[in-house]
Structure 1
Amino acid sequence: MDEIEKRISSFVQLGQFLSQFSRTEIAAKAAIAHNDIFFDGFKHQLKLAEEHNNWFTRENLLFACESWAKALTEENINTWISKEKLLSTSNQKVAIVMAGNIPLVGFHDFLAVLISGHSVIAKLSSNDKHLLPFLAKYLEYTNPDFKGKISFINEKLKGFDAVIATGSNNTARYFEYYFKDKPNIIRKNRNSVAILTGEESENDMESLSEDVFRYFGLGCRSVSKIFIPRDYNFDSFFKGMFQQQEIIQNAKYANNYDYNKAVYLMSEFDILENGFLMIKEDESYASPIASVFYEYYDNTDDLKIKLYEDRDQIQCIVAKDFLENEIPFGQTQHPNLWDYADGVNTLNFLSNI
């Protein structure tokens, strides 16, 4: 087995390990490597992550585990890397500045750096600091070659050859200045949108509710804005959203809902709401928690032009038979390994540094 195959095998084993942690049950499976050392420990890390960050509910933590378990198959990884020429080994050290908005949000960059043969220096967000270091230890057990190639730091980054950094538009300006002398990928704020026609089925709208509410709408792949025709009737939209009504039971979400509703009412904005979600007409893409913006369109050609012009602000477009690269309703939080954030091919970048 060559070096690349060994790295692939390690991540496949990690996927099998994560498959034991699902929303339906957490149960050890026979023949999973190193379960005696890591299974109970990862259960504990999930508990710590939930206690540390109120946005990281058990449901969302396990959803993230499920998603990565499905992604980390030998077939998926081989399909992903097939178009790039990976190095058997590398002396390059790649720094990753990770966001912390959703569980394991930095894992794709972490995976890409290691599968490319480089070493990773990860600066974790304080909001998401429990899971990845533990999973890194699992990888080191499956492949001792990873030892010495993975480090997590809290202090200032140093001794790196390239960097991948994710943050807000404000922090991105700092990143662009600070990392200007190194090969880099700098990611900024992005949001996802849905294109509605009024012809959507009940199932479409219920599926869209997953795109809106998964991770409380905190992910860049979460739908924060809808585009609708002038004569759109919101009844079907709110009916589809209704199956997510239990979200208001989360205290942190409820506080944001109450606060943002108060702001809208005091500002005398026109809003529609159903007790756990507000919608407001607004040209912006980034809506506050517990709200979705909407904007009218008069014809689809003009809308396509607008979306193209605003492409640097948009992560995903949810639609049905509207655009070539659209995402089906309910699928924004199920990206393939080759669905890159901001449309920037991370693996190609890492293969050429």
Structure 2
Amino acid sequence: MAGNIPLVGFHDFISVLMSGHDVVVKQSSNDKHLLPYLAKYLEYVEPEFKSKINFVEGTLENFDAVIATGSDNTARYFEYYFKDKPSIIRKNRNSVAVLTGTETPEELEGLADDIFRYYGLGCRNVSKLYVPENYDFQGFFHAMYKWNHVINDHKYANNYDYNKAVYLMSEFEMLENGFLMIKEDKSFSSPIATVFYEYYNDVNELKTELISKKSDIQCIVSKDFIDYEIVFGNTQSPDLWDYADNVDTMGFLLKI
């Protein structure tokens, strides 16, 4: 399991159980406490789960299929190591927002939640904005202010100071408000305390571009832009049927 945000692997965990399989879990060192606690509660609610949940350390053994999450580099290792087993291998993904300049203050405040929840560490957190030419960021920064308290976390503040220093020393152009920086950049994955942005001229061209890069994107936050868009403020509130990477986890499990 990944460990970038708390319980990030819970959906895979519960999917394995609900499909009738036993679950063998190797946790991330960054998230080792909440899932075992929930597992004990599930065993209390449904005693039959007691024989179906195993937490392991070290090398995985005696398994029939794999759901693994890691970086793009780790995924290559996973693909080789698990090549003889049915598998879902999850790689790096990021989420983007498409703005038009007509968003309400409430929608932009929802976008602030999509950016800052879990300090932006989740693949469903927005790390990149697409904005029209001559977009006025004043309303955007005003909406972000509800999350100004993040700068009081020393780890976040250290990242903010470090990345700001790098940008200034490199003479990159960026805008900032004391706890968030925005920088024009074509990349999807932005550092902590930074959101990248890119200008667009044609909505249809942008839609075609994002569809062509769908393997790098987890969520698209927008309003009346694309069929599978996420409403502002909802990226970290997925439904049970919102499968990561658009891979039907239950469909995969029920075929094993």
TM-score tier (shorter): over 0.9
Of 269, 272, 275, 2:175 maps to 272
Q: Which residue of 2 aligns with 1:228?
A: 131
CA distance in 1, matches of 2:40, 2:149: 36
Q: Which residue of 2 aligns with 1:285?
A: 188
SS of 1:189 mapped into structure 2:
coil
SS of 1:147 mapped into structure 2:
helix
Q: Which residue of 2 aligns with 1:339?
A: 242
Q: Which residue of 2 aligns with 1:123?
A: 26
Q: Which residue of 2 aligns with 1:112?
A: 15
Of 125, 135, 148, 1:245 maps to 148
CA distance in 2, matches of 1:263, 1:298: 30
Of 306, 318, 340, 2:221 maps to 318
Of 217, 223, 226, 2:120 maps to 217
Q: Which residue of 2 aligns with 1:176?
A: 79
Identity %: 66
Once the two structures are superposed, residues 264-321 of structure 1 have per-residue CA deviations (whole angstroms, 9 ceiling, x without a partner) of: 1111111100000000000000000000000011100100000001100000000011
Q: Which residue of 2 aligns with 1:148?
A: 51
Of 226, 251, 254, 1:348 maps to 251
Of 208, 229, 244, 1:305 maps to 208
Of 173, 187, 191, 2:90 maps to 187
Structure 1's consecutive aligned runs of 4 or more residues displaced over 6 angstroms after TM superposition are: none
CA distance in 2, matches of 1:186, 1:263: 33
CA distance in 1, matches of 2:11, 2:177: 36
- The offset of 1:180, in angstroms, is 0.6
CA distance in 2, matches of 1:168, 1:339: 21
* 5+ long unaligned stretches in structure 2: none
Q: Which amino acid aligns with 2:98?
A: I
| Bigger fraction of residues in helix | 1
SS of 2:51 mapped into structure 1:
coil
Q: How many positions carry a matched residue from both structures?
A: 256
CA distance in 2, matches of 1:153, 1:314: 31
* 5+ long unaligned stretches in structure 1: 1-97
CA distance in 1, matches of 2:203, 2:179: 30
| CA RMSD, 1 decimal | 0.7
Higher RCO (CA-CA < 8 Å; seq separation 6+): 2
Question: So what's the TM-score if we normalise by structure 2?
Answer: 0.99
Higher radius of gyration, 1 or 2: 1
Question: So what's the TM-score if we normalise by structure 1?
Answer: 0.72
CA distance in 2, matches of 1:143, 1:293: 46
